[in-house]
Structure 1
Amino acid sequence: MLPLRVSCEPILEDYIGIYVILYDTLYLIFLLKGFKLMGQYFIIASQIIGWDLVRFAIIYGIFMTGFSQAMFLVFRRTHTQNQFQTPSEAHMGMFIMSVGEFVDIYDTFKDSKHEAMGKIVFVVYMLLVTLLLINMLIAMMADTYHNMAGTKKYWFRQWARIVLMLEEDMCYKSRLQFQEKYSQKMDVPQSRLVFVDRCRQSLK
């Protein structure tokens, strides 16, 4: 950051600052997975974001593409200002409608030459996307929460995983010093591996 400040590159400095802040936030969440108090909730959130939201985004994108292009054709020959003048603006207009801000957009239907068709597309879109897909997303997230909440001591497995990943960035001497603090001494040469394996077996 300091070289960019000296070289008078404020825009690039802002971009890097934004990236660093977001990365540090995600890294903090990753470390908190190993704590019993908050670990389970962060694990559930990561499962929802990494799996449920991806599936929802794919289905939502398919519906969004189809309905946005249909709405673009409805307003194609309209000369007044509207939210569907270009295909890209049509995507944004449909997204705004899906979050409930559709009053101003609905008032522009009267300026279209296909007012009836536009209202039909609007009603079908609101039923399928706003009601059906949003409730389907809530059901998927609830199912993921139920499955993950029933897993006992899953946070402890994440703790062992975090420890192993952090050990990879340490030198051999520092690694042994830290292992003596959280590992149990055993009469085998690979005590750390036996300790982690014992933890995994106890969680099955």
Structure 2
Amino acid sequence: MRKMKMLAVAGSLLLTPVLMTQAALADQASADRLTHLLEPLKTYSADFTQQILDASGSSLQDTSGHMWLSRPGHFRWAVNEPYRQLVVSDGDEVSLYDPDLEQVTIQPLDDRVTHTPALLLSGSASELSDNYDVSRQQQGASETFTLVPQANDTLFEQLKLTFYSEKLDALQMTDSTGQRTAIDFDNAQTNVDIDPAQFQFQAPEGADVIREQSPATP
């Protein structure tokens, strides 16, 4: 009996590296597939609806707006009333404007900032597997990719990207408190000409401008 137990333990030890290798290959295949879908996405313009849910699933806020994206690094996210907000990235800096507070926050477009879901889309798709563990589920024409950050300083613990017929359809983020942000896209246009002025931001006269610096590099 003891010999059989020893053989079973030995067998499990031999099997573990194989299972780990299979999981790593599956993750890499998922990352490669996501890269395949995102890489041709040079520009993207779409209406969106956004819902913020607490950990129990109760709705905290519903908003809508429009987004424009031009990779790499250019982004414009405009939220309609009553929760007006504008986020603009010119590839070097990100400006967040709150019209109600008449306040603009500007920060460099560094790795910390690009860990936000919206700006993640404007980055390099080929770097996803270096920064996130990626898995994939498919149901018919719908493919959902789950991204889990490998770093600890991100704004979310899990991000899901859903494509329908290979077109970006939805995004869902879950943070450390269990709060979820669900975004659905509509009337999407891909790889169309977008006026470069959409990615330039000029602070309105009288607005309070707060300029943040990148964290010091150790």
Higher strand share: 2
Assess same fold via TM > 0.5: no
* TM-score, reference length from structure 2: 0.21
Higher helix share: 1
Q: Which has the larger radius of gyration?
A: 1
